[in-house]
Structure 1
Amino acid sequence: MIGPLVFIHEMGHYLVGRWFGVHAETFSIGFGHELKAWHDKRGTRWRIGALPLGGYVKFAGDAGVASEADPAWLELSPEERQRCFPAKPVWQRALIVLAGPVVNLLFAALVLAGFAYIHGENVTPTRIGAVVEGGAADAAGLRPGDRILAIDGEKVELFPQLSKAVMTRLPGEEVTLELDRAGRVMEVPLALGTRVERDRFGNEYRIAQIGIQAAESVQRDVSLAEAPIVGLRRTGELIAMMANGLVDIITGRRAISELGGPLKIAQISGEQAALGPEALIAFIALVSINLGFINLLPIPMLDGGHLFFYGIEAIQRRPVSPRFQEIAFRSGMALLLGLMVFVTVNDLGSFGLWRGLSGLIG
């Protein structure tokens, strides 16, 4: 699943690079031992690596796959230099780099637009139809007929918006609900309850909940013309949820054990495939958003790191010093490798490996 998403990511870089007249020397899907390779009529070497957990496009003038400039490009003829990545204006280089994450996000938006067109959009209002006895809402004094207007100041008009706002919070977290009760607006403090769910594969999830049911369920049809707008909006909502989750992990509100890596993605991919094509396609769209979002983070070695340096270059009217870039890229590589090792250890722990080993040792 990661291979095709990496392919469309790198294809974004490649196509915008071609648009600006940059020669792509290598287009690789995967790293490591070369399984297959061929050259096209433009002289680009297309290769497939044995490790399908990434990929890259190496443009003319790049010293390596991280797109750091090769000083040798300055020794080329004027015609050849015009085909090199470092010769292009900073805005063109920025667009070439930005194209990869943007294509991932647009791909996900297209998938979500398709789902909206097929299944419609849930526009259920936030009016309470029933309160779960003994739940968080019951304890806070919520009543049928109340309409929830906001949670911690975040306005909500539809039940799906309320659900997303609750899901980004932790079970037991204290929130403030703004209610409309028979025309009177009031604020009610509430401690979120916990719902424990187990899927058919034995995975257990602890999810925050208020403990209410909607007064009615409203589904509206989405036209073909409107579907892309709905897809883009849903993509934006998922990006916001990912950003909030990342901030929560960094600030310690969420356990760092929630981070998963390639092994976890492989496990969940298999589970979603077992649930049917729609579940798998929806999960692919989610991973594509993840790929686009993570690559936009301002970390050296990632697209966001390059964009950060191009921003500095645009402001100071000269590139960041090669020595500083080298230090930054080495640090970024160390950070990414360390993160890869950490999430792999997390993945193995979620599979029960460490518990099993401790039992054998004990």
Structure 2
Amino acid sequence: MPQVLRTPLAFALVLGVLVFIHELGHYLAARWRGVHVEIFSIGFGRPLLRWHDRVGTEWRLCILPLGGYVKPHGFEGPAEASAETQAKWIPGRTFHDKPVGSRAIVILAGPVFNFLLAIVLFAALFATVGRPSAAPLAGMPPVIGESVAGGAARAAGLLPGDRIERVGVTPTGSILDVQRTVSAAAGQRVEMQVLRAGHTLSVPLTVGGDKPGAGVIGVMFIAPPTRAMPVGQAIVAGVTETWSVAVQTLDGIWQMLTGRQSAAGLGGPLRIAQLSGQVAGLGFASLVSFIALLSINLGLINLFPIPVLDGGRLVFYGIEAVMGRPVPRPVQEYSFRAGFALIACLFLFVTFNDLSHLGLFSWVSHRVG
């Protein structure tokens, strides 16, 4: 499939699965706690499709696919709802009159379902195609398995099966050697010495990336053969893998916050779309693994204690449980405004990173120059 078609289709699949599972968690938890759900929407804006199920929930597929939402019945309290809205409330089925524990369960279920999705996907991969070897990169030979469309390696003519023996003047006996050398050569033109079918070749190549320490050539190396795991072991391994990825993600965020790592690597929807197309080109197993990784990230982000996110609402519910009364409405409103502003700034920042990564600003600068 051409890249121009694969990228949007893969992005729609990835985002659709993530959003649906997250909102399904909210939906099922609401049903469990006796809350009627008015709307289950995938996407925003004008509905392209809509229908009602047997319990009266309206399901929507909307024109803007960048997210989704579930609207519980009576989500707003009496202080915000009009008299007309209050007259339509179903006694005992509204969100706001449920105990704080039930409301917290409904909100928490979205991120929890994202983690469960990651566990299921990892377990399914480990039970069918096996778990990637845990061998350290320092001990694995740098033999190319796949090259990414549009990457520097494919443009230079590197092929699957090529073994990279030297990058510039640096010998590369392992995958780790290649990664270290390439990372430091962003934007530079180097001679790569590769072993192909018993013959040594010299291949000129311009390393991708425009920031120091961020050089890439767009290849996946061959890993040792894997064997399918028994289902029980695969489930345990799925839980372990999900926990490991979550810890590594939080550690990376902490390093950014403390200045030990650049935030230039943060990506948004454009970057996810680009990666979705690239990963889809590497096969179904790679795409499933990518969805699992993003699902963990989505679950973690939604648990951050920022108002307008699930984590922010959970903080309010925790305070309510301790104090015995809800947080004052003005405090909640100002907090939600501040949280919305923070999320908007973060969105603008990652979009700027995405456009920089795609080379838009360099292209504009070149054209203006």
Are 1:300 and 2:307 matched, yes or no? yes
- 1:108 paired residue number: 118
Pairwise CA distance, 1:118: 2.7
**Contact 1:39–1:45 (8 Å) recurs in 2:** yes
Are 1:12 and 2:12 matched, yes or no? no
**Contact 2:73–2:89 (8 Å) recurs in 1:** no
**Alignment partner of 2:319: what SS?**
helix
**Contact 1:263–1:344 (8 Å) recurs in 2:** yes
Q: Closer, same or farther in 2 for the Cα pair 1:46/1:328, shift >3 Å? A: same
Q: Which amino acid aligns with 2:72?
A: F
Q: 1:348 aligns with which of 355, 361, 365?
A: 355
**Contact 2:47–2:60 (8 Å) recurs in 1:** yes
**Contact 2:78–2:86 (8 Å) recurs in 1:** no
Are 1:261 and 2:268 matched, yes or no? yes
Deviations 1:63-120 (A, max 9, x none): 3xxx997445898579823100111111111111111111111111111112222344
Counterparts of 1:97 and 1:68, CA distance in 2: 20
Pairwise CA distance, 1:223: 1.8
**Contact 2:74–2:89 (8 Å) recurs in 1:** no
Counterparts of 1:225 and 1:341, CA distance in 2: 43
Counterparts of 1:319 and 1:52, CA distance in 2: 34
Deviations 1:266-295 (A, max 9, x none): 000000111111111111111111111111
Counterparts of 1:119 and 1:131, CA distance in 2: 21
Q: 1:99 aligns with which of 109, 115, 120?
A: 109
Counterparts of 1:264 and 1:56, CA distance in 2: 23
Pairwise CA distance, 1:193: 5.5
**Alignment partner of 2:344: what SS?**
helix
Q: Which amino acid aligns with 2:108?
A: L
What is the identity percentage for the equivalent residue pairs of Structure 1 and Structure 2? Answer: 45
**Contact 1:62–1:69 (8 Å) recurs in 2:** no
Higher relative contact order (CA 8 A, sep 6+): 2
Counterparts of 2:285 and 2:140, CA distance in 1: 31
**Alignment partner of 1:82: what SS?**
coil
Pairwise mapping of residues 23-102 of structure 1 onto structure 2 (< 5 A)? Answer: 23-63=36-76, 70-72=80-82, 76=86, 80-102=90-112
Counterparts of 1:195 and 1:360, CA distance in 2: 28
Counterparts of 1:117 and 1:292, CA distance in 2: 24
Pairwise mapping of residues 278-293 of structure 1 onto structure 2 (< 5 A)? Answer: 278-293=285-300
Pairwise CA distance, 1:345: 1.4
Q: Unaligned 5+ residue runs, structure 1?
A: 135-162, 167-191, 208-216
Are 1:244 and 2:251 matched, yes or no? yes
Q: Closer, same or farther in 2 for the Cα pair 1:37/1:70, shift >3 Å? A: farther
Q: 1:117 aligns with which of 118, 121, 127?
A: 127
**Alignment partner of 2:231: what SS?**
coil
Q: TM-score, normalised by structure 1?
A: 0.72
Deviations 1:286-311 (A, max 9, x none): 11111111111111111111111111
Q: 2:322 aligns with which of 308, 315, 320?
A: 315
RMSD: 3.7
Q: Which amino acid aligns with 2:112?
A: V
**Contact 1:117–1:224 (8 Å) recurs in 2:** yes
Counterparts of 1:332 and 1:220, CA distance in 2: 46
Pairwise CA distance, 1:258: 0.7
Q: Closer, same or farther in 2 for the Cα pair 1:323/1:119, shift >3 Å? A: same
Q: Unaligned 5+ residue runs, structure 2?
A: 1-13, 143-164, 167-174, 187-204, 216-223
Q: Which amino acid aligns with 2:293?
A: L
Q: Closer, same or farther in 2 for the Cα pair 1:194/1:319, shift >3 Å? A: farther
**Contact 1:116–1:227 (8 Å) recurs in 2:** yes
**Contact 1:104–1:292 (8 Å) recurs in 2:** yes
Pairwise mapping of residues 111-150 of structure 1 onto structure 2 (< 5 A)? Answer: 111-121=121-131
**Contact 1:62–1:68 (8 Å) recurs in 2:** no
**Alignment partner of 1:101: what SS?**
helix
Counterparts of 1:334 and 1:22, CA distance in 2: 30
Q: Which amino acid aligns with 1:59?
A: P
Counterparts of 1:252 and 1:358, CA distance in 2: 28
Pairwise mapping of residues 113-192 of structure 1 onto structure 2 (< 5 A)? Answer: 113-121=123-131
Question: Which moves more between the two structures, 46-55 or 74-83?
Answer: 74-83
Pairwise CA distance, 1:336: 1.1
**Alignment partner of 2:281: what SS?**
helix
Pairwise CA distance, 1:38: 2.1
Deviations 1:6-49 (A, max 9, x none): 01110110011001110111111111222222222322221122
Q: Closer, same or farther in 2 for the Cα pair 1:239/1:52, shift >3 Å? A: same
Which structure carries more strand by proportion?
1
Counterparts of 1:88 and 1:77, CA distance in 2: 18
